[in-house]
Amino acid sequence: MGHRSTMARSKGPTSLRRAIVTGAASGLGKAVAEALRDQGVSVIGADLRTTRIEGDVVADLTQPSGMQKVVDATESWGAVIHVAGLAADADPAAILRVNLVAPIAPTKALQKKARPNACVIAIASVAGNITDMNDRVLDAAMKLDPDGVAAFVNEHQLDSRDCYRLSKKALVEWCRRGPLAADGIRYNAISPGPINTALWDRAQAASPQVARGLVELVPHVPSPEEIAPAIAAFAGPAFAWVNGTNLPLDGGLAVLLAHRAETEKVNNNDGA
């Protein structure tokens, strides 16, 4: 007789029926929405711009009215995937509002409509590893509301790059602490490296030396269509037991960056 596992099976849904994807009008958000729809999932795309798809919502998720539009658009949901974001060359306060406040606040508003074992996926970044913000600042960032962002940026003297890195690190930490909420929702982050979108084009133009350094470590910069299937799968029932984690989708970039930094540190110490 074959071995029968004594572990309990997941009580989650056998299929993902409905998902909400932010930033669905272009880039990675659009690719994720399309990948889910290809799997037969009903998707509500939310973006500042129209996606021209029936059922999608034009909304500013940094504002209560925008959050309410998304809440009103669905009877229930099995996944919310937060893809919308600004690059590191945008206004510092805007970066925190879009990249951090917008994912956290609407999730709270949507909790009452979550299906059993629903999941929230926040698209973070390997850039979240490149910040020395202390826990006090990190905790304060995760509690921000839209009206308090500008004062927070001024208090801590943050520039655009600081805010971008902080926003991504805070998303990972928010998801890591997700299981503590005990609200029946699973929280996971995904941290890609560079993705071949308009945001990457702007990043290269703004910081060409940094961009070249990344490409030297991982020469292939994937398209949104290469990344999206992995994100869609992570939202599905095959991963219904995963909670409070961060999945790197970076081609090994985070490890290579850490190794390069350590090597430079050793070399500098040897030369001192």
Between residues 6 and 178, the one the model is more confident about? 178
C-beta atoms surrounding 212 within 10 Å: 10
Q: Collapse the DSSP code of 80 into the 3-class scheme (helix H, G, I; strand E, B; otherwise coil) and give the result.
A: strand
Predicted local distance difference test score (pLDDT) of residue 6 = 37
Question: Average pLDDT for residues 245-253, to the nearest whole number?
Answer: 95
Worst-scoring range by mean pLDDT, 33-42, 147-156, 208-217, 258-267?
258-267
Check pLDDT > 90 for residue 236.
yes
Under a CB-based contact definition with an 8 Å cutoff, are residues 185 and 119 in contact?
yes
Q: pLDDT at position 222, please?
A: 96
Q: Which of 29, 50, 20, 56 is CA-nearest to residue 197?
A: 29
User: Residue 251 pLDDT > 90, yes or no?
Assistant: yes
pLDDT value at residue 2:
46
Q: Can you tell me whether residue 106 is helix, strand or coil?
A: helix
What is the structure's pLDDT at 3? 45
Give the pLDDT of residue 105. 83
| Residues ≥6 apart with Cβ < 8 Å to 161 | 88
Q: For all residues of the chain together, what is the average pLDDT?
A: 90
Residues belonging to the chain: 272
Q: Cβ-count burial of 184 within 10 angstroms (0-12 exposed, 13-18 middle, 19+ buried)?
A: exposed
Helix (H) or strand (E) segment spanning residue 60: none
Mean pLDDT across the stretch 15-34?
A: 95
Strand order across the beta sheet in which 77-82 lies: 57-58, 42-47, 18-22, 77-82, 114-123, 186-192, 245-249
Looking at residues 79-100, what average pLDDT do you find?
95
What's the rounded mean pLDDT across residues 13-37?
Answer: 91
